[in-house]
A = this chain, B = another copy of it.
Amino acid sequence: MPMLNFTYHNPVKIVFGRGSIAQLPRLVPADAKILMIYGGGSIKRNGVYDQVIASLKRNPPAEFNGIEPNPRYETCLKAVEQVKAEGFDFLLGVGGGSSLDAAKFIAAASVYKGKNPWDMMTNWARVPADSLPVGCVLTLPATGSEMNGGAVVNREETKEKLFFNSPHSFPRFSILDPEATYTLPSRQTANGVVDAFIHTTEQYLTFPADAPLQDRQAEAILLTLIEEGPKALAEPRNYDVRANLMWCATQALNGLIGCGVPQDWATHALGHELTALYGIDHAQSLAVVLPGMLRHQRERKRAKLLQYAERVWGIVAGTLRVPQPGPEEEDARIAQAIERTEEFFRSLGVGTRLSDYDIPAEAVELVASRLEKRGVKLGEHGDLEKKSIVEILALRV
* Chain A interfacial positions (CB closer than 8 Å to B): 2-20, 210-214, 216-217, 219-221, 223-224, 227-228, 239-240, 243-244, 247-248, 251, 256, 259-260
Contact A14 B5 (CB under 8 A): no
Whether the pair A244, B17 counts as a contact (CB closer than 8 A) is no
Chain B min CB distance to A168 (Å): 14
Name A214's closest neighbour in chain B (CB-CB): B247
Q: A368 to B391, alpha carbons, bound, how many Å?
A: 69
Are the CB atoms of A9 and B13 closer together than 8 Å? Answer: yes
- In whole angstroms, how far apart are the Cα atoms of A256 and B257 in the complex? 13
In the bound complex, do residue A220 and residue B213 qualify as a contact, i.e. CB atoms below 8 Å apart? yes
Q: Are A3 and B216 in touch, CB under 8 angstroms?
A: no
Chain B neighbourhood of A17, CB < 8 A: 3-6, 260
Instruction: Decide if B239 touches A212 in the complex (CB within 8 Å).
Output: no
Complex alpha-carbon distance, A74 and B248, angstroms: 45
Give the chain B neighbours of A5 by CB distance below 8 A. Answer: 16-20
Does B228 contact A220, Cβ atoms closer than 8 Å? no
- Cα–Cα distance between A6 and B259 once the two chains are bound (Å): 24
- Which among B12, B214, B243 is the interface contact of A3 at CB below 8 angstroms? B243
Task: Give the nearest-CB partner of A220 in chain B.
Answer: B216
Which of the residues B6, B214, B216 comes within 8 Å of A216, measured between beta carbons? Answer: B216
Contacts of A228 in B (CB 8 A): 212
**Docked pose: A243 CA to B228 CA in angstroms:** 32
- Judge whether A14 and B4 touch: CB under 8 Å: no
A147 to chain B, nearest CB (A): 9
Check if B13 sits within 8 Å of A8, measured CB to CB: yes
Most chain-B CB neighbours within 10 Å: which of A8, A12, A227? A8
State whether A7 touches B11 (Cβ < 8 A). no
**Min C-beta distance of A133 to chain B, whole Å:** 14
B219 touches A2 (CB 8 A): no
Complex-state Cα separation, A48 to B221, whole angstroms: 37
19 interchain pairs, CB-CB under 8 A:
A2-B240, A2-B243, A3-B244, A5-B18, A6-B14, A6-B16, A7-B14, A7-B15, A7-B16, A16-B259, A210-B244, A211-B247, A212-B223, A213-B220, A213-B248, A214-B247, A216-B219, A217-B251, A219-B220
Chain B residues whose CB sits within 8 angstroms of the CB of A243 once the complex forms: 2-3, 210, 260
- What residues of chain B lie closer than 8 Å to A214, measured between beta carbons? 247
In the bound assembly, the distance between CA atoms of A210 and B224 in angstroms comes to: 11
A16-B220 in contact (CB<8A):
no
| Shortest distance from the beta carbon of A322 to any chain B beta carbon, whole Å | 26
- Establish whether residues B3 and A240, one from each chain, have CB atoms under 8 Å apart when the complex forms: yes
Q: Which residue of B15, B217, B244 is within 8 Å of A212 (Cβ)? A: B244
Bound: A212/B256 CA distance, A: 18
| Chain B neighbourhood of A12, CB < 8 A | 9
Bound Cα distance from A16 to B256, whole angstroms: 13
* Chain B positions within 8 Å of A260 at CB level: 16-17, 243, 247
Task: A227 to B210: give the CA distance in the assembly, Å.
Answer: 12
CA distance A7 to B10 in the complex (A): 14
**Chain B residues near A248 (CB-CB < 8 A):** 213
Interchain CA distance A9-B6 in the complex, whole Å? 20
Q: Which residue of B lies closest to A173 (CB)?
A: B9
Shortest beta-carbon distance, A230 to chain B, in Å?
14
